[in-house]
Amino acid sequence: MSERVRIQKALADAGVASRRRAEQLVIEGHVTVNEESAGVGQLVDPAHDRLAVDGVLVGAAQRRLYLALAKPRGVTSTVSDRHAAQTVLDLVPDTMRERAARLFPVGRLDRDSEGLLLLTNDGDWAQRLLHPRHGVEREYAVGIERSLTAGERRVLERGVTVEEGVARLSDMRPATAADLRSLEALVGSEARSLTWCRVTLRQGMKRQIRRMFGAAGVPVRRLVRVRFGTLRLTGMRLGDVRELSAAERRDLEALSDTAVAAGRDLVVTIDGPGGSGKSTVGMRAAAELGYRFCDTGVLYRGLTWLAVDRGVDLDDSAALVELVAQIRLEPDEHDRYVRLVVDGRDVTSELHTAAVDREVSRVSRQPPVRAALLRIQRALAEQGRIMMAGRDIGTIVLPDADVKLYLEVSVEERARRRATERGLADDARALAQIQEELRRRDEIDSSRETAPLRVPEDATIVNTDGRTLEETVTRVVAIVRELADDRGSR
């Protein structure tokens, strides 16, 4: 009997790309199933369905290949880039490339960075190494012009707030004499002209080290990845490529196995229609569990508020995307990402007005806007131990979350709750207007082409009609604890 799997997995198994990249290909409309456009999360039968990417049929699962590459500067970490003079695939010998139809990097090193990079055609393997909750370490040698001052070191040790959240280093130390000898052998005599430190990351934000050092006022002159998990950059020169041994693969896999078995730092998604109490329930449950919390709706509300405030056309996707860089989601003192800051000003109190309620769906249904905010949301979930609430968190933003919840509640109950929040519980006309606004937003959210509101296939549905807030929170906490205990006992 054939097995049906999510399309992202089928594409990854066939060596098309990692699951994350395969998902993006689906979102961008490059993928078809039986000559029809594919949807994210769609179940397919790889043995019988006709999968194609840009019209090219996808074959069955390939023989797996796992490579280590010592990337030089100036080489792009992409499968293909018409603007790049050279990509990492250009460094792979033909004899190796012939064994795998499609190879892709496990993560990336930016064009100006160098060092250890993994390549494979095994999407599941890549996903296990990259998944934020596994926290697989990457170690870097960072070349700067002078030693760090005490103040600069404090900035880096404390962490730097960026648009995706708080960027943190797992470890930082000065390079040893042995480190410097290894670096000189790898990058040449220039190593002696720089001051080097060793930095370890568990997060994976884009250009994280360069951005953090830049925020501290210390430009990075050279950046070399020297370790990925248990694998070190030893015995290789820049440009070298070799196949991983079976023992090296097992050691890397063991890191993610240990993290999954031992960790209780789960990623929890809470989806549901507008006014279902996702934020209130999630905030209370996260506090009881000791988790971080993020209300992703604040991002969309903040962007809507800013667009209205600046007089930007709410149907102009390009103009809206340009505004994204001006909003910042920040944690409060309880590690809840519910504050929105614009140009240093906290505008959170201005986001839950009737005007924003009316227009937020108009903004959030636009694919370029959702794509621009997607990276911020995923970066927040990188370290695990977080609850994220929204309308497409379990289906699109975090499809591989550990726990997926969906709050189900009637529109009448949602309208009553929202009216009470606004002090309008006794105003029948206002109550009717709120109810109509919720119905309209439900229709827009459920029918939009990009990331429509729907129940994640593997979600636990929690019906909150007739339940008090405390009862709903108790139920959510119990579900999360049960799975956490189950993971910890394996």
Would you say domain 5-57 falls under CATH 3.40.50.2300? Answer: no
Give the model's pLDDT for residue 263: 43
Q: Which CATH number fits domain 267-488: 3.40.50.300, 2.30.29.30, 2.40.50.180, 3.90.78.10?
A: 3.40.50.300
Distance CA 15, CA 97 (A): 12
In the chain, where the domains are located:
5-57, 66-260, 267-488
Distance CA 21, CA 38 (A): 14
For residue 489, with 0-12 CB atoms within 10 Å meaning exposed, 13-18 middle and 19 or more buried, which class applies?
exposed
Q: Calculate helix-pair angle for 150-158, 208-215, nearest 10 degrees.
A: 130
Task: Please give the backbone phi and psi of residue 80, each rounded to the nearest 5 degrees, phi first.
Answer: -150, 145
Q: CB–CB of 285/403 below 8 Å?
A: no
Which residues, given as ranges, of the chain have pLDDT below 50? 1, 259-264, 489-490
Give the model's pLDDT for residue 84: 64
Give the model's pLDDT for residue 94: 86
Q: What is the value of pTM for the model shown?
A: 0.53
Give the model's pLDDT for residue 307: 93
Nearest to 134 by CA among 489, 487, 391: 487
Distance CA 317, CA 319 (A): 5
Give the model's pLDDT for residue 466: 77
372-426: pLDDT as tens digits: 888 888 888 877 789 999 888 998 888 888 899 998 888 787 777 777 777 776 7
Torsion (CA) 239, 241, 244, 245 in degrees, nearest 10: -110
Distance CA 267, CA 134 (A): 11
Give the model's pLDDT for residue 255: 76
Give the model's pLDDT for residue 262: 41
The pair of structure tokens assigned to 174 is 């000065």
Class of CATH domain 66-260: alpha beta
Q: CB–CB of 90/79 below 8 Å?
A: no
Distance CA 136, CA 106 (A): 12
Distance CA 391, CA 389 (A): 7
Distance CA 336, CA 385 (A): 12
3-class DSSP string for 100-161 = CCCCEEECCCCCCCEEEEEEECCHHHHHHHHCHHHCCCEEEEEEECCCCCHHHHHHHHHCEE
Distance CA 293, CA 385 (A): 9
